[in-house]
Structure 1
């Protein structure tokens, strides 16, 4: 494995911290000065790694989706399409995912903010959302669903919405109920469980 240079390691530290802040608090919470302070670096050092705050946001979006893909890499390798789809749904709509917004999927954390960001960030976010959707569509296609792409888009929308609502719930039992209801609903629509 190639050893990263000091500059590359520093850039990665900035990206990792910025990704955590964006997932937990949104894009508006990333101020260059406060971010660099959190990483233990000076404000001026930021520009050795990123041309602008907007460039940082785009790099962080890319990083967050890459992190999420890495976390489910083993699930994506499951050969049986029904089992793979069930695991993807269960993993996404889990209490563990709900309790860890700083490490989870960027979709529920950032979807409401994307309309306010520059077109480059929105385009990148949209492309990465499509890749997540495709991970759901593939097992649906393998299971013979003629409307796999449409169903995958709908399932993803429900899962993202359910996760966002569950995270907004002050009551843990209510949050868990939202996730459980959504798990049951999307599995029924995917043909994984009987109605």
Structure 2
């Protein structure tokens, strides 16, 4: 059977989507290659046409997860810098994000697993986190903040910490209050709290 030139890449993408879902849902250590391949609609035997090992799969899936997270930032960044940052903070510190850890930021979802991951996966995680921090640093610098790189890392740490604590809170009322307070404090810290509401 002949396949078009993109067939192998499309198949790999299916496997990575399935692996990313499994990692978010069950954690990287409980991911089974057979289950991932089954979820992707493929046979277990086809795995080694795309990956040398489960470790390589996990690392590639983590990279894919960060690619997805970065696209969220890119959608926000189509607006002016201040509006982009405010909207990203609003999306990150939302109940929708809090309630969907399997679809959200991989830093918050996977950071507790990081010490037990293989070096290749830790490297993929670190590269993804740096990419997000670097993306946030650019508008912060253009808005006149000093040490934008350091500030961006601090902002990212605040976002991750706030969403993680909100997920630990069993009361939805208290979780909402926590996220609202964190968002307001962060917007104030970045001089974004006087922006008009986004009509979208």
- Normalised to the residue count of structure 1, the TM-score between the two structures is 0.89
Contact 1:140 1:148 in 2 (8 A): yes
Match of 2:178 in 1: 178
Distance of 1:183 and 1:189 partners within structure 2: 10
Match of 1:169 in 2: 169
Note if 1:89 corresponds to 2:126: no
Contact 2:60 2:124 in 1 (8 A): no
CA RMSD of superposed structures (Å): 1.8
Query: Which runs of no fewer than 5 residues in structure 2 stay unpaired?
Result: 195-200
- Cα 1:168–1:42 change in 2 (3 A) is farther
Note if 1:147 corresponds to 2:147: yes
Match of 2:75 in 1: 74
Match of 1:115 in 2: 115
Match of 1:63 in 2: 64
Contact 2:98 2:167 in 1 (8 A): yes
Match of 1:130 in 2: 130
Distance of 1:73 and 1:15 partners within structure 2: 21
Distance of 2:84 and 2:41 partners within structure 1: 41
Match of 1:192 in 2: 192
Note if 1:43 corresponds to 2:44: yes
Query: 1:90-105 counterparts in 2 under 5 A?
Result: 90-105=90-105
Distance of 1:12 and 1:148 partners within structure 2: 34
Alpha-carbon offset, residue 4 of structure 1: 6.0
Runs of 4 or more above 4 Å deviation: none
Query: Which runs of no fewer than 5 residues in structure 1 stay unpaired?
Result: none
Contact 2:89 2:183 in 1 (8 A): yes
Alpha-carbon offset, residue 183 of structure 1: 0.7
Contact 1:76 1:135 in 2 (8 A): no
Match of 2:22 in 1: 21
Equivalent residues, number:
191
1:100 aligns to what SS in structure 2?
coil
